[in-house]
């Protein structure tokens, strides 16, 4: 009896969520019950991911049930939705906290400006876009808005398309909001609290329905969010009718810029340490992946001797692996990572500890990675989009103790994307200088 009472005392509440198993609920109010897949105006419709695209549904005849079964393949990794089994959507719930956070440094003038704009958007439950350069200190800008939201009892989600970004951002937010019950959700992680303050991948929002008052989307242009309109719509479905959305990125897509109302785009051209963004250098160099090239070997060894860390970006995993096997005998402090590498988190951690000096990588590290004394080299930069090139350049000079570094684009012909990336970086530096947000 005592064990049962102890378990109930610390029971997790699933507020404003889609639930497959009813026995997961205790006293939460259920506001909607239906099959996971329903027929809506002659088309199949998924209750979980809200898709109506014909290609997302699969039909088969069940001899056991003696009827046709239709299920959604689009969101099956989050739990199967079909036209047979019922699912339950619970009512949302309000819970106020003190919203206290700890910041060991003062915000820069630009960060204070942005913090006020975010706070206004949260108070009014309106949507804004923070067009902020890489290294602007976006995470710290949202703290005051989050604090106000939690004191009002608003449900808050901070989301990103990328797991790597979610992990890094969650560490910083949890360190600041020490007394808050924060759920960090991505594949393999379970809800530990009641979902009033969530940090998650965007995919995890499929589980929430009309629950959040405020959703902050970091790296809003990152894959797969930028390529999937259904995934983008999930942000709206997870929000209450009256809500505020804060979008943040250094490379906003044109579609999002057009969507935003006049006056709702906040441009933040300076880094928190008030030093300019490193400007990319262009150099013609034809890469040969199957053998060691003198120029590249010399460059990487110079980087190591200068006690610099180097990320070398590739646009092809196989070419990266091929090149790694050529260079690893000469450079012992070399490793590589990509999205399918099961050891990628361990390798990145080892890089931070200084166990590696050079890391070959795909664009998996173009965002959400911060480290001092870091330089970047992009191989075949003529094959990259401008947004990726800007994000990659943004890995350099992010730390106060090392605010500059090398950004080198190796190419076989300068492209419009390369020129646009460099132009955008120079434009932001000029704007920051004009606003007085740069030193010197």
Are 208 and 322 in the same domain?
no
The rounded distance, in Å, linking the Cα atoms of 10 and 271 is 42
C-alpha 90/C-alpha 419 separation (Å) is 51
Would residue 100 count as lying in a domain? no
Q: What is the mean pLDDT of residues 279-308?
A: 96
Q: What is the mean pLDDT of residues 231-235?
A: 90
Number of H helices, E strands in the chain: 12, 20
- The average confidence (pLDDT) of the chain is 93
Cα radius of gyration rounded to whole Å, the chain: 24
187 with 85, same domain: the answer is no
User: What is the band of 10 on the pLDDT scale with cuts at 50, 70, 90?
Assistant: low
Residue 97 in domain: no
Residue 114, phi then psi, degrees to nearest 5: -65, -40
Is there a single domain that holds both residue 59 and residue 184?
Answer: no
pLDDT digits (tens, 9 = 90+) for 257-276: 998 988 899 999 999 999 99
For range 408-432, the mean pLDDT:
97
Same domain, 296 and 164: no
Percent of the chain residues topping a pLDDT of 90? 84
| Contacts with 318 (C-beta within 8 Å, 6 or more apart), sequence order | none
* 142 in the same domain as 40: no
242 and 336 share one domain: no
Q: Are residues 76 and 212 in the same domain?
A: no
**Span 108-124, average pLDDT:** 96
Q: Which residue has the higher pLDDT, 189 or 392?
A: 392
Residue 102 lies in a domain: no
Total-model pTM: 0.89
Number of domains into which the chain is organized: 3
Query: Cα separation of 388 and 134, whole Å?
Result: 12
CA-based max dimension of the chain: 77
pLDDT digits (tens, 9 = 90+) for 58-85: 999 999 999 999 999 999 988 999 999 9
Q: Indicate whether 140 and 234 sit together in one domain.
A: yes
Q: Is the pLDDT of residue 143 over 80?
A: yes
The string of pLDDT tens digits covering residues 339-387 is 899 999 899 999 999 999 999 999 999 987 889 999 999 999 999 999 9
Q: If you average pLDDT over residues 37-64, what whole number do you get? A: 95
Q: Which CATH number does the domain housing residue 295 bear?
A: 3.40.50.300
Same domain, 264 and 320: no
Residues 187 and 251 in one domain: yes
Question: pLDDT tens, 403-412?
Answer: 999 999 999 9
192 located within any domain? yes
Neighbours of 390 (CB within 10 A): 24
Q: Cis bond leading into 224, ω under 30°?
A: yes
Domain of residue 333 covers 281-434
Q: Is 349 part of a structural domain of the chain?
A: yes
Residue 44 lies in a domain: yes
Residue 225 has what pLDDT? Answer: 82
Q: Are 412 and 380 contacting, i.e. CB atoms less than 8 angstroms apart?
A: yes
Statement: residue 7 has pLDDT above 50: no
Give the end of a domain, one of 243, 268, 293.
268
| 95 within domain boundaries | no
Distance CA 232, CA 226 (A): 8
- The answer to whether position 37 is within a domain reads yes
Confidence of residue 1 (pLDDT cuts 50, 70, 90): very low
Could you say which of 200, 234, 268 is where a domain stops?
268
pLDDT over 90 (residue 428): yes
**CB contact at 8 A, 280 and 425:** yes
> Does residue 85 sit in the same domain as residue 114?
no
**Can you give the pLDDT at residue 4?**
45
* Angle at the Cα of 165 from the Cα atoms of 131 and 278, rounded to 5 degrees: 55
């Amino acid at each position: 009896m005592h064990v049962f009472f102890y378990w109930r005392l610390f029971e997790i509440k699933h507020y404003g969520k889609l639930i497959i198993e009813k026995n997961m609920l205790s006293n939460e109010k259920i506001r909607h019950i239906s099959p996971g897949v329903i027929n809506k105006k002659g088309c199949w419709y998924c209750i979980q991911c809200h898709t109506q695209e014909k290609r997302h549904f699969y039909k088969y005849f069940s001899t056991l049930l003696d009827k046709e079964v239709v299920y959604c393949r689009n969101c099956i990794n989050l739990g199967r939705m079909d036209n047979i089994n019922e699912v339950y959507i619970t009512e949302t719930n309000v819970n106020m906290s003190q919203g206290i956070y700890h910041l060991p440094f003062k915000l820069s003038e630009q960060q204070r400006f942005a913090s006020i704009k975010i706070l206004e958007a949260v108070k009014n439950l309106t949507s804004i876009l923070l067009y902020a350069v890489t290294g602007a200190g976006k995470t710290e800008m949202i703290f005051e808005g989050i604090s106000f939201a939690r004191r009002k009892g608003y449900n808050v989600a901070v989301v990103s398309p990328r797991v790597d970004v979610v992990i890094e951002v969650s560490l910083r937010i949890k360190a600041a909001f020490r007394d808050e019950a924060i759920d960090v959700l991505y594949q393999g992680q379970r809800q530990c609290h009641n979902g009033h303050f969530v940090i998650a991948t965007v995919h995890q929002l499929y589980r929430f329905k009309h629950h959040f008052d405020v959703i902050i989307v970091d790296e809003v242009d990152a894959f797969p969010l930028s390529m999937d309109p259904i995934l983008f719509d999930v942000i709206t479905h997870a929000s209450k009718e009256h809500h505020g959305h804060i979008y943040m990125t250094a490379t906003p897509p044109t579609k999002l810029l057009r969507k935003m109302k006049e006056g709702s785009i906040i441009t933040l051209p300076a880094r928190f340490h008030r030093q300019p963004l490193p400007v990319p250098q262009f150099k013609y160099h034809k890469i040969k992946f199957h053998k060691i090239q003198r120029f590249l070997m010399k460059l990487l060894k110079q980087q190591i001797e200068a006690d610099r860390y180097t990320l070398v970006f590739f646009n092809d995993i196989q070419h990266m692996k091929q090149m790694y096997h050529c260079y690893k005998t000469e450079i012992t402090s070399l490793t590589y990572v990509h999205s399918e590498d099961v050891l990628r988190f361990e390798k990145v951690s080892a890089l931070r500890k200084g166990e590696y000096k050079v890391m070959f990588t795909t664009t998996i590290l173009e965002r959400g990675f911060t480290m001092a004394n870091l330089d970047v080299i992009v191989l075949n930069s003529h094959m990259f989009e401008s947004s990726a090139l800007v994000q990659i350049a943004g890995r350099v000079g992010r730390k106060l103790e090392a605010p500059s570094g090398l950004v080198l684009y190796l190419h076989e012909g300068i492209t419009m994307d390369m020129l646009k990336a460099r132009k955008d970086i120079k434009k932001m530096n000029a704007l920051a200088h004009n606003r007085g947000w740069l030193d010197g």
